[in-house]
Amino acid sequence: MVLTDLAAIRKILAESRTIAIVGLSPKAERPSNLVARYLMAHGYRVIPVNPGQEVILGEKCFPALAAIREPIDIVDIFRKSVDVLPVVQEAIAVSARTIWMQEGITHEAAACLAKKAGLSVVMDHCLKTAHETLFPPVLEAS
């Protein structure tokens, strides 16, 4: 049901370019901001979703997924588990390809709904940590 297969997660990360981060904080010390900066540094297009902000990390911030007018590969959720279902419903409505619930975030009913709609689902995993594990930096030989 929910992806735990590292090969499948690797494929998602390799084939994705645009990641909407729901709950992205403008505060540099917050985990969502750290993850966003990491993803941007590794070539991903990060779209902030936070109704209380206009710009985060130099990118236009959107109040909701529905306001984004470009395809979304991954919806990365930095919200409490109780707040996940409406985000997943919106992700389905905008035809996102993958739901990613960050470490500590799970919602079985939302995951089932997303899978029924054809989305891939990753729960309770940090996207940054997964990327670091699956795509370690290549060290140059001296």
pLDDT tens figures, 50-104: 999 999 999 999 999 999 999 999 999 999 999 999 999 999 999 999 999 999 9
pLDDT of 38: 97
**What domains are defined for the chain?**
6-134 (3.40.50.720)
Reduced to 3 states, what is the DSSP secondary structure of residue 120?
A: strand
Contact of 121 with 2, CB cutoff 8 Å: yes
State yes or no: pLDDT of 2 exceeds 70: no
Q: What is the pTM of this model?
A: 0.93
Q: How many CA atoms lie within 13 A of 49 on its CB side?
A: 23
Tell me the C-alpha distance between 17 and 104, whole Å.
24
